[in-house]
Amino acid sequence: MNRVFIIGAALLANLNAAEPAKLEEYLMHRAQELFDAVAVGNQETWMKYFADDCLFFDEKGRNFTKAELVADIRPLPNGYSGKITVAKPKSLIHGDTAILSYDIDESETVFGQNLKARYHVTDTWLRRNNNWQIAASQVFRYYEDPAVGKIDKAKLQNFVGTYELAPGQVRTVSIEGDHLIVERNGKRETLLPEASEIFFRKGVEGRILFRAGADGKIDALIDRRNNEDVVWRKVK
């Protein structure tokens, strides 16, 4: 163990609630170390900073033990490269517990194509035996709208109409300029095309789909939320 690490570990062990800004800065430095280790598959850093009994939940809701988490840290395959940067920390520090919440911005290149993603992480650090480690961590991904696709404007008329969920519960779809407008109880939203019969609303998770019946005519508007469908029947 090198001298710099020994000194750093001693400083971290002595930080307490009287110095929250210093502790936050130190833990954010450790968080950046963790994500710097991802692309190169450095499992040692994750072994060091996560407690043996830790709870880890990723953006897909999967729960990992420490052994599973560490085993999942592998070098990026050939043709892939990337960088993850931590930012915007917020912390709540009390005694031997520090809750650290922050954003991570990911840039990835896949065979020359550049991708970006934004996540938010909340780590709970515990000081045990003068050693700070992550006891629990949870990640979620920020929602981002899909790219707007192309659609034959002449087909928009096929989707115009009134759709009913239950008696007295209706949505109307109309055309305004080059876009579809869906309206319910005075709330108007623009439907942006993702594909020919699949639409989305800016800043809203889920999709709006239009279903055709056996005769080829649109007979329903489907509000799809995380693969669960709410079906609105076309009534006129």
Q: Which domains does the chain have, with CATH numbers?
A: 3-141 (3.10.450.50), 153-234 (2.40.128.50)
Higher pLDDT, 208 or 151: 208
Higher pLDDT, 17 or 52: 52
Gap between the Cα atoms of 222 and 231, Å rounded: 5
pLDDT in tens, 157-200: 999 999 999 998 999 999 998 899 999 998 999 999 998 889 99
Grade residue 29 by pLDDT with cuts at 50, 70 and 90: very high
pLDDT at 17 over 50: no
Count of Cβ atoms closer than 10 Å to residue 150 Cβ? 8
Gap between the Cα atoms of 62 and 53, Å rounded: 16
pLDDT at 6 over 90: no
Helix/strand/coil for 29 = helix
pLDDT at 12 over 70: no
Say what the pLDDT of residue 19 is: 84
The mean pLDDT of 112-131, rounded to a whole number, is 95
